[in-house]
Amino acid sequence: MPQLPNSEKNEIPYQELLQRAAPNKTRLEDLKTEEMILNIGPQHPSTHGVLRLEVVTDGELIVEVIPHLGYLHRCFEKHAEALSYPQILPYTDRMDYLSSMNNNMAFAMGVEKMMGIDEQIPPRVEYIRVLVAELNRIASHMIALGTYGLDIGAFTPFLWTFRDREHIMNLLEWVSGSRMLYNYIWIGGLFYDLPVGFEERCREFVNYFRPKMDELNRLITHNEIFVKRTANVGTLPLDVAVNFACSGPVLRASGLKWDLRRVDGYSVYDELEFDIPIGKGEVGSVGDCWDRFKVRVDEVEESLKIIEQCLDKLQKKYKRSPDFDPRALCPPKARPKAQEYYVRAENPRGELGFYFIADGKSDRPFRCKSRGPSFCNLSVLPELSRGILIADLVAIIGSIDIVLGEVDR
Amino acid sequence: MKIDEIKSIIEEKFPNAIVQSELEVTQPYLELGREALHEICLFLKEDKRLHFDFLSCLSGVDYGEKEGQLGVVYHLYSLIHEHGLVLKCKISREPGAESLPSVSGIWKAADWHEREAFDMVGIRFEGHPDHRRILLPEDWEGHPLRKDYEEAEAYHGIKIKY
């Protein structure tokens, strides 16, 4: 039995310490004769990170799933109370690390609103923000789609989506200097203007990428094995989704046209044209795993539309000019007046919210709570997975598309 | 629906429930007493005019030793009427008094949020079906988002303080 090196009470076995720190909720004596506890994770590829699932099974059937979180808890909220607003921005990158631009944007929008400079942000800045956020949304959905194939045994789509995602990574690296954790959208502006020639390259990418989605659809979305594996599995009724405050593609797949980009029309989204795809139950019932997958596929198309419109605006109406300074409004010291503000924005996974309390006396927030979409979407998992097969559990987790960096923060 | 209309609907049904309200700020809020909290929340969800079916966020807050209060802030939204509401409920910081009725029976989304508020701020929720810590280990000492939180020297022999 391994022992912890510096433990004061070295005589306590490691297994017992583990049981104290992360005990199972189900007690062995409460189990029925035919039931047993199966532990999945925290190191398991199908949990998409460090999620531990305590599964009570009856043969192949699942009686109860109890998620155990916190393996990736990095004290975002505690750190935020000790840092000034611009310093917190890089920490938001690390929450949902697959969509850093969207996180930056939500946080920056919130602080700008509190500072009262949200109306003065130049349109070029806003369009660049939307452009990079949508690029990041595609990249994030590509991971969701690719790894979902991987979860249920299709390897090729994963390679194809990652090949295409790489082009977005290159574009965003060119913009921000970083591949994943961009810290590009700043409070009051941007880190830099777009590099010269970016618009043209981005348009090239859009033209390259559009046919790839048809390929992906032919490869996996309408593939018979894939449909058999996902249709009518993990059906999430709309009322349950709303009750659990699911948002993003999970809520839309259950049939509700609900997208904060349209509802709130923040930034310049109200000037852009795009549709909101919802689950229709084409091959199964509304709100099943296939619908959640399809909604993401359709959203990629919509994001491409948005990107093209942004590029049009950036090349014609709000052109690059030598005296454009994207940092002109960035406050040297962000000190909002005493107030409370809850900002929300549409992340690739749903509603990302930040609740700030500013006391007006310091540069640091008094309280900064973040509401991660993955956190709320994951909470519906026990409800979805009662009485299903273990193999379907993997399909359901993948279709919810969680990022543990945001669940645990 | 405007915030003053929502307020008057609540006041009509529960005359003395709103302790304090701030309507002139960016995001207006209503502060409720803890006694009627559960009833009002149920009313907010069930009433056809209000229909707050979506609990966006639930945050536990420690207002500091000077104020001597803890609080929970509820951000509600109605998907049908597209209006929002911020509710607050403050309780004493005295040990033993820091408890509130759970709303997880009304909005299931509150389940994990309340567990997080308990984990981080140390607010207990009466009637919660699964009252455990959520992000920190089960045997962690203290609640880190308390303003007077002091971390322990070590956790199972692992150094915490730096």
**Are A256 and B107 inside 8 Å of each other by CB?**
no
**Are A6 and B154 inside 8 Å of each other by CB?**
yes
Please tell me the predicted confidence (pLDDT) of residue A1: 47
Question: Can you name the residues that pair with A357 across neighbouring β-strands?
Answer: A340, A367
Q: Please give the residue of chain A at the shortest CA–CA distance from B144.
A: A78
Of chain B, the percentage scoring pLDDT greater than 90 comes to 12
* B3-159 classified as CATH 3.30.460.80: yes
In a mutational test of the A interface, the residue from B108, B133, B147, B160 whose CB has the highest number of chain A CBs within 10 Å is: B108
Q: Centre a 10 Å sphere on the Cβ of residue A240 and count the other Cβ atoms it contains.
A: 16
User: Please, what is the end-to-end C-alpha distance for chain B in angstroms?
Assistant: 51
Please tell me the predicted confidence (pLDDT) of residue A173: 92
How far off is chain A from B15, nearest CA to CA, in Å?
26
Q: Please give the residue of chain B at the shortest CA–CA distance from A17.
A: B156
Per-residue confidence band for B10, with pLDDT thresholds at 50, 70 and 90: confident
Closest partner residue to A339 among B26, B55, B56, by Cβ?
B26
Overall residue count recorded for chain A in this entry? 409
Please tell me the predicted confidence (pLDDT) of residue A41: 76
In this structure, of A113-122, A334-343, B16-25, B58-67, the range with the lowest mean pLDDT score is B16-25
Chain A CB contacts of B109 under 8 Å are 243-245, 376, 379
- Distance from C-alpha of A114 to C-alpha of A356, rounded to nearest angstrom: 9
How far off is chain A from B109, nearest CA to CA, in Å?
4
Strand pairing class (B29-32; B84-92): parallel
**Are A242 and B54 inside 8 Å of each other by CB?**
yes
- Distance from C-alpha of A41 to C-alpha of A44, rounded to nearest angstrom: 5
Q: Centre a 10 Å sphere on the Cβ of residue A21 and count the other Cβ atoms it contains.
A: 15
Mean per-residue pLDDT, B107-129:
90
Chain A CB contacts of B159 under 8 Å are 6
**Are B54 and A367 inside 8 Å of each other by CB?**
no
Closest among A7, A119, A105, A67 to A393, alpha carbons compared: A67
**Are A342 and B56 inside 8 Å of each other by CB?**
yes
Quote the DSSP letter at residue A44. Answer: B
Please tell me the predicted confidence (pLDDT) of residue A10: 59
**Are B29 and A340 inside 8 Å of each other by CB?**
yes
Which CATH architecture describes the domain A76-408? Answer: Orthogonal Bundle (1.10)
Contact residues of B toward A, CB < 8 A: 25-27, 29, 53-57, 59, 61-62, 73, 75, 79, 82, 86, 107-109, 111-112, 120, 130, 132-139, 144-145, 154, 156-159
Please tell me the predicted confidence (pLDDT) of residue A6: 53
**Are B144 and A78 inside 8 Å of each other by CB?**
yes
The residue with tokens 């090239």 is A204
Question: Between the ranges A209-218, B2-11, B147-156, where is the mean pLDDT highest?
Answer: A209-218
Mean per-residue pLDDT, B103-130:
90
Chain A CB contacts of B26 under 8 Å are 113-114, 339, 341
Low-confidence ranges of chain A (pLDDT < 50): 1, 7
Task: Supply φ then ψ for residue A122, to 5 degrees.
Answer: -65, 145
How far off is chain A from B57, nearest CA to CA, in Å?
6
Chain A CB contacts of B136 under 8 Å are 70, 73
Please tell me the predicted confidence (pLDDT) of residue A9: 52
List helix spans (H) across A152-273: 156-176, 198-216, 224-230, 238-243, 249-253, 260-263
A281-330: per-residue pLDDT in tens?
888 888 899 999 999 999 999 999 999 999 998 888 888 888 888 888 88
Chain B CB contacts of A8 under 8 Å are 154, 157
Please tell me the predicted confidence (pLDDT) of residue A168: 92
Please tell me the predicted confidence (pLDDT) of residue A4: 54
Domain boundaries, given as residue ranges, for chain A = 19-68, 76-408
Domain boundaries, given as residue ranges, for chain B = 3-159
- Distance from C-alpha of A400 to C-alpha of A134, rounded to nearest angstrom: 20
Quote the DSSP letter at residue B98. Answer: -
Asked if residue B106 lies in contact with residue B41, where contact means CB atoms within 8 angstroms, the answer is yes
How far off is chain A from B126, nearest CA to CA, in Å?
19
Please tell me the predicted confidence (pLDDT) of residue A353: 92
Asked if residue B100 lies in contact with residue B89, where contact means CB atoms within 8 angstroms, the answer is yes
Asked if residue A282 lies in contact with residue A294, where contact means CB atoms within 8 angstroms, the answer is yes
Asked if residue B77 lies in contact with residue B107, where contact means CB atoms within 8 angstroms, the answer is no
As for the ipTM of the complex, it is: 0.91
Mean per-residue pLDDT, B115-124:
90
Please tell me the predicted confidence (pLDDT) of residue A282: 85
Helix (H) or strand (E) holding A39: strand A35-40
Chain A CB contacts of B144 under 8 Å are 75, 78
